Amino acid sequence: MKKDVDLLKKKSRSQRDIVEKAGSAGLALSGLVGLFFLVILVWQIAIPTVIAGETGTIEPASEFIPESDYVLHWDYPNIDDQGNVKADPIILELSWDDGQTVEELEIKVVSQRGLTEDVYIDENGISTSEVEVGRKTKFYLKSSLTEQIEVKQISGPVPAADETGAPTVSSFVVSIDVDVLVSEDGIVFQPIELAGYAVLLVTMIIVTKPSEKSLAPLQKLYGKDKHVRIGSIVLAIITLALGGITVSSTLAAIGWLLAGIMVNRTTEGMQRLEQQGRTLKEVDRLKHSISNRDGLLMWARMLLFASTLFIPLAIDIPFLTERYQDIFQPYSSGIRSAFFGTIWVMTIAMVVSIPVSIGAAIYLEEYAAPSRTTKLIQALVTNLAGVPSIVFGMFGLAIFVKQGGIGLGLGPSILAAGLTMGVMAMPIIVLASQEALRSVPTSLRESAYGVGCTQWQVTKDHVLPSAMPGIMTGSILAMSRIMGEAAPLVVVGAAALVLFDPEPLAGIFGGNVNFTVIPIQIYFWTSEPEHAWHSMAAAASISLILLLVAMNSIAIILRQHFRKRLNS
């Protein structure tokens, strides 16, 4: 016979399961809704970057409108002076009768203005399959049919394309060329750059999954740590000398240095293992014998990923790295100055804000005694985290841009912008770092004090590593916020049109202080009336998102590394 208490437990367990499933379903639904809106956002941004050409419909004629027409014109000629097609021919596809009747019309746009020829459509089809018109000259497709006609461009430059005919229909407004090792002009990289990339890759594989066979060649390097170190430094210097100070040569040089460090640490671990009377077959023990193995692998993977974008692949995106702003031809324009301006502003902001903010959080949580002063400081930091960004712009204008009084007189420069954005990020990082430090158990501090550690040793060696994942999370959120901000930079003096590369230290040493960033460039392009500029703004938005993802990915990798160390 069941007791009342058993029945009560069974009922409670059933209710608990229902609540648990309902809660899980609610969380899953919330996540799906958020993902749905994120996909819609990305899709809406991406749509304008693909050029669809000339599309539309010709409304059917009626007794009141004997002929309905469709207006077309192209800005630039696609025919040269010799009559040759400079790009893909402009071809329109006209279809009606539910797609049963399909006609193609080729349009030749010449440099002469005013030349026009209308095309007529009736039950017999179109009046001509080829028409010659002048640039920026309107011509009409006129229909006397009583049914709707669909117009679709299937080839050639679009009406708003540049004079070279780019882009073609259904193409991305940004051109990307990828060459592997070699291009049409010959070899892309110096052999020593490829060697540095390959050595780093092989070394990382050996350290990640060591085996007796792969470790055998390293036994010859026992006691030669100094030679390996000097050799890696010499190879790095030679790589920079032969390749010049380029991105690929710099990454390859760092690869040589990191590979040398990993080889030395691995040989030291092998010797340490053999001194304990063990063999190289015990690879699991060897992994623990390599000093800072996880940290070396983390940096090697990050460097290898970054190097893959430049070695052995040569990725050419003129929109980012070559083209400057062009106020006349949208598809020949680019965001070079804005792209590098954004990177410099973010770099300065990170260098300024992260160390100062983490130091302030450590002082407030670990050193400062609770008093009215510290409570006032805490309240000010909390309030600053919610201050509108335009207020920080006014602060930067008064402190960093203006000359006189307490103003540093840096002018409307990248340095002033970076310092302003760094100050705006500080409250967010301070609050996140404080929460991370508070989450560290008090028992960890007491244990460290119990074995004789000083307060600084407790903070540096025990508290800070445990709180680092939370600190990195706060830094990621702060950097994500300030990367898309435009209002403070407008106040500080960011320009809408910059035709030269930014100079980050021009505010101190002189030079061109004017700069711009990607959000400002996007705003400038969206304010233009021509739809082609809106497509370029969408492409710039995608570039900003990808840059944000790249920077956040680096921070997330660092956070996961510290979290892994903490769990181990």
pLDDT of residue 422: 93
Cis? peptide before 167, omega within 30° of 0:
yes
Please say whether the dihedral angle defined by the alpha carbons of residues 427, 540, 333 and 135, taken in this order, is positive or negative: negative
pLDDT of residue 325: 66
Which residues of the chain fall short of a pLDDT of 70?
1-12, 325-328, 565-568
Query: pTM, whole model, 2 decimals?
Result: 0.81
Half-sphere exposure of 25 (CA within 13 A, CB side): 6
Helix axis angle, 336-362 relative to 464-483, nearest 10°?
150
> Residues 122-135: pLDDT tens digits?
988 999 999 999 98
Among candidate residues 157, 107, 164, 104, the one with its CA nearest the CA of residue 137: 107
504: its two tokens: 């980050």
pLDDT of residue 472: 86
pLDDT of residue 228: 92
Among candidate residues 173, 155, 156, the one with its CA nearest the CA of residue 75: 156
Phi-psi region of 404 (alpha: psi -120 to 50; beta: other; left: phi over 0): left
Among candidate residues 150, 113, 118, 149, the one with its CA nearest the CA of residue 131: 118
Tell me if residue 8 falls in helix, strand or coil.
Answer: helix
pLDDT of residue 167: 81
Other CB atoms within 10 A of residue 244 CB? 11
> Residues 277-306: pLDDT tens digits?
888 788 888 888 888 888 888 889 889 888
Give the per-residue SS3 of 432-457: HHHHHHHCCCHHHHHHHHHCCCCHHH
Torsion angle in degrees (nearest 10) through CA of 497, 500, 503, 504? 40
Torsions phi, psi of 172, nearest 5?
-75, 140
pLDDT of residue 6: 56
